[in-house]
Amino acid sequence: MRHLTTDELNAGVPDVEDSPGDGGTVEMIVRRPDVDGREVVDAGELVVGEGLAGDNYVARGNPRTPDGTAHPEAQLTLMNARSVDLVADGDRSRWPLAGDQLFVDFDLSTGNAPAGTRLAIGSAVVEVSQKPHNGCAKFRERFGVDAARWVNSRDDLRLRGVNAMIVEPGAVRTGDTIKKLD
């Protein structure tokens, strides 16, 4: 699989910046039943403290928490659909490899959705957390060194996406609208 260069990725920044600031949409929902497993689903349930039902968020835990349990500020990850489409070189079947649960056509930048912003997605409400969401070794392996550096290069745009906490449980479906509540 071809990996894009930094110049090719940078050329796509204006498209990412044109993402809707409100009234965006859920483009893809991905459940991770195990470490490398991916299931694209049309709908899912967001559960307070558990994330996306059927995802391995709780079971996987987090080696960076004092007791190894799942990080409470990372129940769910959202990535901008335009950003993931860029790093996946336009191949939508590769989006799930990024490891996020919700791929959204929505402006996740710090200017539009700072930490603490609440988003209504379907019948659920999530809150953008302060915990950064960065590209890791697996992301680098799947999309290339330039892509891993690129998604971590613009903290203001959050090209890698955001971590979020579920504050009101509910159903989410592909095509649902995302509205800011703040």
Q: Are 63 and 70 in contact (CB under 8 A)?
A: no
Mean pLDDT of 35-51: 94
pLDDT tens digits, 8-40:
999 999 999 999 999 999 999 999 898 888 999
pTM of the entire structure?
A: 0.95
- Domain at 149, CATH number: 2.40.33.20
Sequence-distant (≥ 6) Cβ neighbours of residue 18 within 8 angstroms = 82
Q: Which residues contact 10 (CB under 8 A, 6 or more apart)?
A: 150
Domain extent for 156 = 6-180
The answer to whether residue 1 is domain-embedded is no
Residue 125 lies in a domain: yes
**pLDDT, tens only, 87-118:** 999 999 999 999 999 999 999 999 999 999 99
What's the total number of domains in the chain?
Answer: 1
Task: Look at residue 40 and tell me if it is in a domain.
Answer: yes
Is residue 119 included in any domain, yes or no?
yes
pLDDT single digits (tens) 129-178:
999 888 778 889 999 999 999 999 989 999 999 999 999 999 999 999 99
What mean pLDDT, rounded, does the chain reach?
93
> What is the Cα–Cα distance from 163 to 132, expressed in whole angstroms?
7
